[in-house]
Amino acid sequence: GDVQAIVVPTEAASERVPVEGELYVVTAIGEDRPGIVSRLARCFADMGVNIEDVWNEVRDYRFIEIFHVRVPATVDPKELRYELAKAAATLPLQVQLQHVDVFTATNSLSVHTRR
């Protein structure tokens, strides 16, 4: 069949306002199903958390998503963790929130030796 494209002019994007705050990593693992990304993104948006980067993969119906998010100083990470847990329970999904420094330290493949 034929493909048809419609081009519509849009308004210029507003100036990007950088979000101040700490960088966190959110990992989500579970059975692939519609609505996972939108539910987690809604949770972030509702709390004013900015998604800086996202990666996902689906393998053998297993869904893996890693978000890098900027959590404003006005948001308590414990409350964000609670809201993510509530969202995860409806999917079902395992969700973990870690400060980027903790995530990096616990997921590093480097080997340390003593001399």
pLDDT in tens, 29-74: 999 999 999 999 999 999 999 999 999 999 998 999 999 999 999 9
Whole-angstrom distance, CA of residue 58 vs CA of residue 78: 28
User: Can you give the pTM of this predicted structure?
Assistant: 0.77
Domain 22-106 has CATH 1.10.340.30: no
State the residue for tokens 């964000």: 80
* Mean of all residue pLDDT scores within the chain: 88
Instruction: Name which of 48, 54, 58, 62 is nearest 20 in CA terms.
Output: 48
Instruction: Name which of 59, 54, 45, 46 is nearest 25 in CA terms.
Output: 54
E strands, the chain, in order: 22-31, 50-59, 62-71, 94-99
DSSP 3-state of 36 = helix
pLDDT band at residue 24 using 50, 70 and 90 as cut-offs = very high
